[in-house]
Chain A
Amino acid sequence: MTELGHPRYLLSAGPWRSLWYITVGAFGALPVLALARLPVDLDAPWSYLVKAAAAVVADLALALPLAVLERRRLRILVGSDVPARARYWCSFGYAVAFTAVICLADFVVLVLALCTLMVPLAPLLQFVLDIGSIVNLDGPVPDAVLVPVGLLLLAPTAYLVALLAHGQAALAQWLLGGGLAGRVRELRHSRTRLVDAFDAERRRIERDLHDGAQQRLVGLIMTLGLAELDLAGGGAELVAKARAEAESVLVELRELVRGIHPRVLTDRGLRAAVMELADRCPLPVRVRVALPRRPSPQVELAAYFIVCEALTNVVKHSGAAGAEISVTTCGRRVRLTVRDDGAGGADLARGSGLQGLADRVAVVDGTLTVTSPAGGPTELRVELPWESRDCG
């Protein structure tokens, strides 16, 4: 959608959308105006109070339906759905603003805009429809002046319509969409959902490989093994070679599958999984995991990948002779520390590995600090909640 400030805005669909948006809003003015004209048989000082009270009561009742309708109206301008995250009082505030000001402004500006459209079209309409009998066109201005002046007025009117529409859309989004905080919340939720979906996908791939390719490869190895028994001499040798080949494929596949999703983590939890990472690390790694219970699967997986990446960094960059991993409880959070006795100088700003860790930690609402003075040691400290809060 072309932005309001864009030089070609007037040529885009923007003004028409805005016009359609306020037209819908202007319909809201009809019942408001009708109610305002109801005769109220009360003494003058009280009648205003009663009217105001009635308006407040009406707005209280209308707050939620109006919020729903406004969200639908917002689609005209915003193009996507505004999340329904408003508190009731925000919806009420919007209802007051809409019934007291917005719908009336929409109505007035709509009439103004339609009139402005009529001005340059008047000679044409007069010629085609003979509207002179309905509308008084006998002004002091001749057509020759009327048409260009009308055309000139079109631009500012279009901007007036657009400003009004976008202004109230912004207000509606702010009040009904939970404002910026609501957007941030929405984005965080969607990020968490993305990571969760990603993890679920990894689990599925792991399962598929385990039940499919890995099993079939084992089957193949078995068949080759049996064939070896039946053959003699060169044939058996050839089959043995094929079997060795198949076995190395299976080993590679197992490595791949382990990297995709660690089965031991799901089955046994963090301690066993971290121990296994330590076992596979070429450096001696001391592991201490003391958790009274298992964190949520998201947090466990995050912790696992953090240890994984951290150990990779230690091996690749630190030049350390050993490392130490501890996972403990720290108040209401899980604290994970990876320390090595290497050269230090690790920097969060450089190295995409560390940045990836920081991202992973942020998704589950954790914090990551790295202390790595030149000359070492490097300590990576991560604090994670027990549960990932954004689950929906």
Chain B
Amino acid sequence: MGEPGLRIVLAEDAVLLREGLVAILERFGHHVVAVADADALTAEVDRERPDLIVTDVRMPPGYAEEGLRAAVCLRARHPGLPVLVLSQYVAAAYAVDLLEGDDGVSGLGYLLKDRVGAVRQFVRAVERIAAGDTVIDPEVVRQLLGRERTMLGRLTAREREVLALMAEGRANGAIAAELCLSPAAVAKHIGAIFTKLDISGADGHRRVLAVLTYLRG
């Protein structure tokens, strides 16, 4: 962790988890301001202008989706503000909500709280989101994979796998390693995905569009 740490605002109402998350993130050199509800999150973000926010979905006062709604609002107010939503639910609806903000899909994350245990991967995911990547929990991605969609129906099983990994924010090399393919084969699959989904444009942007198509169905 050579670079200076990220300034993170963390919103989590359960004390145990809040303290645990602070401990993990600070251990890797990040600066964390922790709050316990959505209103405090909004206030803190407006004041701190952090590099990233990490928020729970269900928080006081209503224990519905205050955290998620606050995150979407904050994204609208601070375009490009990286957001990681931590959730207990494998719910595509929440993730899609986050991704459908009008300012693109860079720097977004939706992870199950379970992922926090793999501390290194978790912190790496946090850092990737802060750097503009999109990280969607594999469980959620798997759920979306089950959807029968007209567009995605054109893809082969292998291409779907590749797309799923892209949606998780993996780079080509990581995808190749995961699927035991050569990087060239991955690039070929990705090209086929773009063609089949009628996506054109610069590569980074195309990736995002493909993932969005995938998530939106």
Q: Indicate with 1 or 0, residue by residue over B84-95, a CB within 8 angstroms of chain A CB atoms.
A: 000011111110
Q: Pick the contact of B27 from A226, A250, A286 — CB < 8 Å?
A: A226
State whether A276 touches B17 (Cβ < 8 A). Answer: no
CB of A343 within 8 A of chain B?
A: no
Number of A-B residue pairs at CB separation under 8 A: 98
Q: Is the CB of A222 within 8 A of B17?
A: yes
Kindly state the separation between the CA atoms of A388 and B122 in the bound complex, as whole angstroms.
Answer: 46
- Distance A219 CA – B23 CA, assembled complex (angstroms): 12
Decide if A229 touches B27 in the complex (CB within 8 Å).
Answer: yes
- The residues of B that contact A279 with a CB separation of less than 8 Å are 92, 143-144, 146-147
Q: Which residues does chain A contribute within 8 Å of B65, judged by CB atoms? A: 267
CB distance from B65 to the nearest CB of A (A): 5
The answer to whether B20 and A223 have CB atoms under 8 Å apart is yes
Could you say which of A219, A225, A280 contacts B118, with CB atoms under 8 Å apart? A225
Contact of B91 among A226, A276, A322 (CB under 8 A): A276
- Across the interface, do A219 and B117 meet the contact criterion of CB distance under 8 Å? no
Instruction: State which residues 120-179 of B face A: CB under 8 Å.
Output: 120, 122, 143-144, 146-148
Say if the beta carbon of A71 comes within 8 Å of chain B.
no
Say yes or no for B70: interface residue by CB 8 A criterion. no
With a CB–CB cut-off of 8 A, which chain B residues contact A251? 114
Query: Considering the complex, which residues of chain B in the window 73-97 have a beta carbon less than 8 Å from any beta carbon of chain A?
Result: 88-94
Q: Which residue of A lies closest to B139 (CB)?
A: A251
Give the residue name and chain of the B residue nearest to A223 (CB).
B20
- On whether the beta carbons of A278 and B17 are closer than 8 Å, the reply is no
Q: What residues of B have a CB within 8 angstroms of the CB of A246 in the complex?
A: 117
Is B116 in contact with A281, judged by CB distance below 8 angstroms?
A: no
Measured in the bound complex, the distance between the Cα atoms of B20 and A224 in whole Å is 11
In the complex the two chains form, is B89's CB within 8 Å of A263's CB?
yes
- Is A221 at the interface (CB under 8 A from chain B)? yes
Contact across chains for B114 and A226 when beta carbons are under 8 A apart: no
Give chain B residues whose Cβ lies under 8 Å from the Cβ of A228.
Answer: 119
B88 CB contacts on chain A under 8 angstroms: 210, 214, 218, 254
Q: Are A215 and B91 within 8 A (Cβ)?
A: no
CB contacts (< 8 Å) of A229 on chain B: these are 27, 119-120
Interface membership of A216, Cβ < 8 A? yes
Kindly state whether residue A387 has any CB partner on chain B within 8 Å: no
Name the A residues within 8 Å of B92 (CB-CB): 275-276, 279
Q: Is the CB of A254 within 8 A of B90?
A: yes
Quote the shortest CB–CB distance from B141 to chain A (angstroms). Answer: 11
Interchain CB contact under 8 A, B117 and A247: yes
- Return the contact of A221 from the options B23, B90, B91, B116 (Cβ within 8 A): B116
Of the residues B94, B119, B144, B147, contact of A226 by C-beta under 8 Å: B119
B144 touches A268 (CB 8 A): no
Query: Considering residues B23, B65, B88, B146, which has the most beta carbons from chain A within 10 angstroms of its beta carbon?
Result: B88
A207 at the interface (CB under 8 A from B): yes
A243 within 8 A of B: yes
Q: Is B64 within 8 A of A266, CB to CB?
A: yes
Docked CA distance A292–B177 (Å): 47
Q: Are B119 and A268 in contact, CB atoms less than 8 angstroms apart?
A: no
Q: Which of B89-111 contact A (CB under 8 A)?
A: 89-94
A215:B14 contact, CB within 8 angstroms = yes
Q: Which residues of B contact A222 (CB under 8 A)?
A: 17, 20-21, 23-24, 116-117, 119
Among A207, A218, A223, A282, max chain B CB count under 10 A is at A218
> Is residue A284 within 8 Å, beta carbon to beta carbon, of the partner chain?
yes
Nearest opposing residue in chain A for B97, CB measure: A268
Q: Which of B14, B117, B146, B148 gathers the greatest number of chain A CB atoms within 10 Å? A: B117
CA distance A258 to B90 in the complex (A): 10
Q: In the complex, what residues of A have CB within 8 A of residue B120's CB? A: 229
Interface residues of B (CB under 8 A from A): 14, 16-17, 20-21, 23-24, 27, 58, 63-65, 88-94, 113-114, 116-120, 122, 143-144, 146-148
Having A226-B24, A243-B118, A279-B144, one finds 20 other A-B pairs with CB under 8 Å, namely A210-B58, A210-B88, A214-B88, A215-B17, A218-B114, A219-B17, A222-B20, A222-B116, A225-B24, A225-B116, A228-B119, A229-B119, A229-B120, A258-B89, A264-B91, A264-B94, A267-B65, A272-B93, A279-B147, A284-B146
Chosen A-B contacts, 21 in total, with CB atoms closer than 8 Å, are: A210-B58, A211-B14, A218-B114, A219-B16, A221-B114, A222-B119, A225-B116, A226-B24, A243-B118, A246-B117, A254-B89, A264-B89, A264-B94, A267-B65, A268-B91, A276-B143, A278-B147, A279-B144, A284-B148, A286-B148, A322-B148
For the complex of A and B, the 5 pairs showing the least CB-CB separation, nearest first, are A221-B117, A222-B20, A272-B93, A284-B148, A225-B119
